[in-house]
Amino acid sequence: MPLNPAALDAYWMPFTANRQFKKAPRLLTGADGMYFRDDRDRQVLDGIAGLWCVNAGHNRPHIVQAIQAQAAELDFAPPFQMAHPKAFELAEQLVQLTPAGLNKVFFTNSGSESVDTALKMAIAYHRVRGEGSRTRLIGRERGYHGVNFGGISVGGMVANRKMFGTMLGGVDHIRHTHDPARNAYSMGQPAHGAELADDLERLVALHDASTIAAVIVEPIAGSTGVLIPPQGYLQRLREICDKHGILLIFDEVITGFGRTGNPFGAQTFGVTPDLMTVAKGLTNGCVPMGAVFAQQKIYDTFMSGPEHLIEFFHGYTYSAHPLACAAALGTLKTYAEEGLLTRASAMQSQFAEALHSLKGEPHVIDIRNMGLVGGIELAPLPGEPAKRAFNVFLDCWEQGVLIRTTGDTIALSPPLIIESSQIDRLIDTIRTALRRVA
Ligand code: PXG
Ligand code: PLP
C-alpha cells in the first residue's frame, strides 16, 4: 500500500535528496534471498547486498532465529565491567577467520564507530608505549571512513568534509590510486601504480615519522567508486609503515566478510594490517554492529598498567549488544555452512566477464572489478555530475533491479549467494538502462 505523502514528512533521511525522494518514494517492505519486495508488491533483485552488507542474502533462518531467541533470553547486558557469554564466543570465532596475529576484537555498532575506535587505539597505543609524540593520522584522497569526526577527518571525499569545519587537527592525506589513463578496463588489480604508495614517504619527510601514529586506507575504496589497489601497492604501503614505526589500519567495512573471495581483503591482497575495522557483513546487516581487530602486540601494550585500572577509556553503551552478537553468530554459521566467505573467488571470473561485457555501451568510460565488487564509470552529463548515473539507477529500479551509484560510477556488490542467471539479469538490466538514459 503506497504511503500518503504527508506521512513522509517527519523523517529526515540520511544521504538522500529528501525533497526529491518524498515526491516519488521508493519503499522496500520485505526481503528474501536475493530479492527485496517493494510497496507495489514487486520483486526487486538486490545488486548491492542492501548497502554492501547483506552478504548472505536476506531472511536467513539461522540469523532470524538467533535474533528472535536472544531477544527473549537476554535483551541487554551492560558492556562496561560486565559481559555476557556470546560476546566471548563471537570474538573467539571471529579471530579464527582473521589473518594470523589479528586476534583481539573490540566491538562497536557501525563502521563509523569502528574507524573512530581504531584511530583512538592507534594514538593511545603509541602514548602507552612512550611515544606520545605520534599523534598524526594519515588518510588517503577519495577514502571513505564513515561520517564521524575522526572518519571524515581522515576521509577524502570533499562533499563529506567541506561543510563540517576544521575537523581533527594533525591529519594529512596521501594521494589516491585512481589512474584511468594507465589502468582503464583492468581486470582485477591494475598493473600500474604501486609507486603511489611512496607518497607516504613525502608526508614522512614533511612531518617526520616520530609525529605519525597511523595510516588508514580501504584495501578497495568502495564508496568513492570501487578503486582497486594497483598490484604491489598495499605491500609497499606496509613496508613503508614498518620502516617508520607507523601503524597500518585497513578499513575493511566493505571488503570484510567474503566480498573479495576470502574472509578479509587482507588475505586476498596478502598484506596484514596492525588494526582492521569491520561492520556491515559482520551481522549480515541484520543488527547494527562493527568491530576493530587488533594485533596481539597492541593489546599487550595496553595491558601494562595496574590490573585493577581500565586500560582503554573507550566503549559504547551498545558495544557487544546481545542481539548483535546473536545475529553475528547466526551469520558466521550461515557463512560457514554455505562456504560464502570464499564463494566470491568461485564466482568472480563470471562476474568480471559479465561486467566487462558493458565495455563499449553508451557512456561507459571504465570498468573495475575484484571478487564480487564491480564499478562501472560513466562519462558525466556536461555540467551535471552524478545525474547520468542516477538516471541509470532510476531506470534499473523501474526494471526491478537495485543498484547503487556514487558520483558517475555504478557500484555493484551483490549478495555472495548470487547465481549465474542473476548476474546476467543484473548486467543486462544495466545494459538496457545505459542504452536509453540521457
Ligand atoms: N568505512 C568504510 C570503508 C565504509 O565503506 C564506513 C566506514 C562507515 O560505516 P557505517 O556503518 O558507519 O555506515 C563505510 C560505510 C556507498 C556507501 O554508497 C557505503 C558505506 C555507507 C553508506 C553508503 O558506497 N560504507
Ligand atoms: N550522550 C549522553 C548524554 C550519554 O549519556 C551517552 C552514553 O551514556 C552518550 C551520549 C553515548 O552514547 P553511546 O554509548 O550509545 O554511544
Q: For the chain, give percent helix, strand, coil, nearest 5.
A: 40, 20, 40
Buried b or exposed e, range 40-61, using 16+ CB within 10 angstroms? eeeebbbbbbbebbbbbbbebe
Question: In degrees to the nearest 10, what's the CA dihedral of 226, 230, 235, 238?
Answer: -50
| pLDDT class of 1 with cuts at 50, 70, 90 | low
Ligand 1 closest atom vs CA 111? 9
Which of 104, 8, 89, 438 has the alpha carbon at shortest distance from 303?
104
CA 309 – ligand 1 centroid, Å = 34
Indicate which residue's Cα is closest to atom 5 of ligand 2. 317
pTM over 0.95: yes
- β-partners of residue 405 are 410
Pocket lining: 314 vs ligand 2, CB cutoff 6 Å? no
Mean pLDDT of the chain: 97
Overall CATH class of domain 5-59+341-436: alpha beta
- Name the residue ranges covered by the structural domains of the chain: 5-59+341-436, 64-338
Residues contacting 429, CB < 8 A, separation 6+: 45, 396, 399, 400, 401
Indicate which residue's Cα is closest to atom 15 of ligand 2. 317
Number of H helices, E strands in the chain: 16, 15
pLDDT digits (tens, 9 = 90+) for 319-345: 999 999 999 999 999 999 999 999 999
pLDDT digits (tens, 9 = 90+) for 218-244: 999 999 999 999 999 999 999 999 999
Q: Does domain 64-338 have CATH number 1.10.730.10?
A: no
pLDDT digits (tens, 9 = 90+) for 94-113: 999 999 999 999 999 999 99
Region of residue 193 (left: phi > 0; alpha: psi -120 to 50; beta: else): left
Which of 144, 145, 292, 390 for a ligand 1 pocket mutation test, highest count of atoms within 8 Å of Cβ? 144
Which of 147, 253, 376 for a ligand 1 pocket mutation test, highest count of atoms within 8 Å of Cβ? 253
Q: C-alpha angle with apex 143: 137 to 146, nearest 5 degrees?
A: 85
Q: Give me the residue label for grid cell 548497502.
A: 51
C-alpha span between 206 and 47 (Å, rounded):
43
Give the closest ligand to the alpha carbon of residue 316: 2
Ligand 2 closest atom vs CA 318? 15
